Amino acid sequence: MQHELFEQQLASFNNLWNTAIVPFFEKFLASIAHFDPRRDTIMRGIERTWTNYVQLHVSLERNILLQFKNEKLTQTQVKFINGYLADMKKSLQQDQQILRQAINDRKHALNYPLPMPTLEEQIEAHQIFPDNPAYYKPSF
């Protein structure tokens, strides 16, 4: 395959990666901060969204393989494509770890809210909270 045509096709795949897959994951990761992953319905939604994200990876990989299937490629081009596909799989694994960490961080933040500031911290902030815990409970 001609070098220019090969570079052009790879550039189109890189463009698809940068315009579809990367923004999808960034929005997906940012949305975790707005939901409560301790709830089953939310976790099912996160799992479905993750499945859609994996399908984006699989379809891009399939398109790359189909695009270069019948082409006569040089050894360097074959090595480059194999490396590109390996990088895609590695990126998917890293994204999965990042997502798990974000979910665990969100669960931890929801399960263990910030502790009551010490008296010194309250004085520095010019916000003194009452010592009696009965004041923290609303009573009508």
- pLDDT tens-digit map of 115-132: 777 878 878 887 777 666
Q: Is the pLDDT reported for residue 35 higher than 90?
A: yes
CB atoms within 10 A of CB 29: 15
pLDDT of residue 63: 92
Q: How many CA atoms lie within 13 A of 23 on its CB side?
A: 5
Alpha helices in the chain (DSSP H): 3-16, 22-32, 40-67, 75-111, 119-125
Closest CA to 58 of 33, 88, 34, 78: 88
| Token pair of 94 as six digits | 């890293």
71: CB partners within 8 A, 6+ apart = 1
Q: Is the pLDDT reported for residue 134 higher than 70?
A: no
**Range with the largest mean pLDDT of 27-31, 72-76, 108-112:** 27-31
| Token pair of 80 as six digits | 């480059």
- pLDDT tens-digit map of 54-90: 999 999 999 999 988 877 888 898 899 999 999 999 9
Among 50-54, 60-64, 110-114, 133-137, where is mean pLDDT lowest? Answer: 133-137
pLDDT of residue 133: 65
Q: What is the DSSP letter of 47?
A: H
